[in-house]
Structures are given as C-alpha cells and as structure tokens.
C-alpha cells in the first residue's frame, strides 16, 4: 500500500525547530509497518534528525551553520532575494530536503533522543510544505 499527501507547516522564524509532533499527528493511524518518506518542497530550508531533548543543541546548530556559511559572503553572486538567499540554498543542500524513517507498529521508529527538525534558513520565511509518502501495510 502507498499513501501520499502534503503537510503545510506555518512559517517559523529562522532557526532549528522540532516538528516531530506535527509529523506524527498527520501519520497516525495510516500505516502499521513500513516507511515514511518526508520531502520538503523548498530550496531554502532543510529536514534533519537530531537531539530532541536539549534545546541548546538547536541553538548550537544555528550558530555553527552561520559561521560555516555566513549570509552575504563576498563571493556570493545569487542574492536576488536578500542577504540570506545563497546561504540558505547552501545550508539546505548540505543538510538535505528529505528523510526516510521506518514505521513500526504505527509509530515512527526514532531513537530515544531523536526528533525531526525543520531547519529554517530564511530571515522572513513563509509556510513550508512537506510531501509525505507512506509505504507499507
């Protein structure tokens, strides 16, 4: 069985945001065992899985990525949409736009300390869409 649908997340401020609960609430009870593929339909944000308990981890992610890829680097040519334009695209490509997560007994099989992050790289973001494909029984 395959099911597909789209989730729309409200606009988030720039940073790393736990969205596990929003994703889980849209998946249950659609599939018992299988895989969930989450595809973010944007080029200036990303999805990743990491620490879900200590919010300092998300702050450190933001700090590190901004040092690694600063806004308005003097070598950037693509700056049409503002100072965070090219840096957002690069960060998105580094972290990625999709995740595939096992589903076991109707639940995402994440580790104890794992959560799904929406990584928002734009200063003035809009809502974000995630296309979900569920495969299994």
Q: What is the mean pLDDT of each run of 10 residues along the chain (137 residues)?
A: 96 98 87 96 98 97 97 92 95 98 95 98 96 95
Q: What is the pLDDT of residue 30?
A: 80
Give residue 127's domain range. Answer: 2-136
How high is the pLDDT of residue 121? 98
Report the CATH number that the domain containing residue 52 is assigned in CATH.
2.60.120.460
- Predicted TM-score of the model (pTM): 0.95
Q: What is the pLDDT of residue 33?
A: 95
Q: What is the pLDDT of residue 104?
A: 95
Size of the chain in residues: 137
Give the separation between CA 32 and CA 35, rounded to whole angstroms: 10
- How many structural domains are present in the chain? 1
Residue 9: the pLDDT is 97
């Amino acid at each position: 069985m395959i099911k597909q649908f789209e989730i729309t997340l409200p606009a988030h401020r720039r940073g790393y945001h736990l969205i596990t609960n929003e994703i889980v609430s849209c998946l249950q009870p659609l599939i018992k065992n299988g895989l969930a593929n989450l595809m973010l339909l944007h080029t200036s944000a990303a999805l990743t899985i990491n620490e879900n308990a200590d919010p300092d981890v998300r702050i450190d992610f933001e700090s590190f990525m901004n040092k690694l890829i600063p806004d308005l680097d003097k070598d950037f040519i693509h700056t049409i949409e503002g100072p965070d334009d090219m840096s957002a695209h690069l960060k998105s490509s580094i972290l990625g736009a999709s995740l595939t997560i096992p589903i076991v007994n109707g639940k995402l099989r994440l580790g104890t300390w794992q959560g799904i992050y929406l990584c928002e790289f734009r200063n003035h973001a809009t809502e974000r869409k995630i296309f979900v494909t569920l495969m299994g029984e």
